[in-house]
Amino acid sequence: MQLSLTPDQSPNQSENLTGKAIAIHQKLCVEYGCPIAYFHNLDPLSELVSSLLSHRTKNKDSGRAFKQLRAAFLDWESVRDADTEAVKKAIAPCTWPEQKAPRIQQILRQITRERGTLSVDFLADISVAEARAWLETLTGVGPKTSAAVLAFSTLRRRALPVDSHHHRVAVRTGLIPKKVSVGPSHAILEAQLPENWTAQQVYDNHEVLMLHGQRCCHYRSPACDRCTILDLCLFGQQALGTNGGKH
Binding positions for ligand SF4, rule: CB under 6 A: 169, 172-173, 216-217, 222-224, 227, 229-230, 233, 235-236
Q: Smallest distance from the beta carbon of 205 to ligand SF4, in angstroms?
A: 15
Name the residue nearer to ligand SF4 (CB basis): 44 or 222. Answer: 222
Whether the link from the prior residue into 35 is cis, omega within 30° of 0, is yes
Minimum Å gap between C-beta 28 and ligand SF4 is 9
CA distances from 217 to 172, 222, 230 (A): 9, 4, 10
Q: Is the dihedral of CA 212, 214, 216, 219 positive or negative?
A: positive
Residues 6+ apart with CB under 8 A from 65: 53, 57, 90, 91, 92, 93, 94, 97
Closer CB to ligand SF4, residue 123 or residue 227? 227
| Smaller CB separation from ligand SF4, 140 or 177 | 177
CB of 232 vs ligand SF4, minimal distance in Å: 8
d(CA 126, CA 36): 26
Taking the least distance from each CB to ligand SF4, the nearer of 155 and 230 is 230
- Where is 198: in which H helix or E strand? none
24 vs 160, beta carbon nearer ligand SF4: 24
**Rounded to the nearest 5°, which phi and psi values hold at 9?**
-110, 135
Q: What is the DSSP letter of 224?
A: G
Closest distance of CB 240 from ligand SF4, Å: 8
Nearest-approach distance from CB 85 to ligand SF4, in angstroms? 44
In the complex with ligand SF4, which residue's Cβ is closer, 31 or 121? 31
Residue 231: name the closest of 218, 219, 244, 220 by CA: 244
| Residue 77 CA from chain centroid, whole number | 26
Closest distance of CB 113 from ligand SF4, Å? 45
> Residue number with the shortest CB distance to ligand SF4?
236
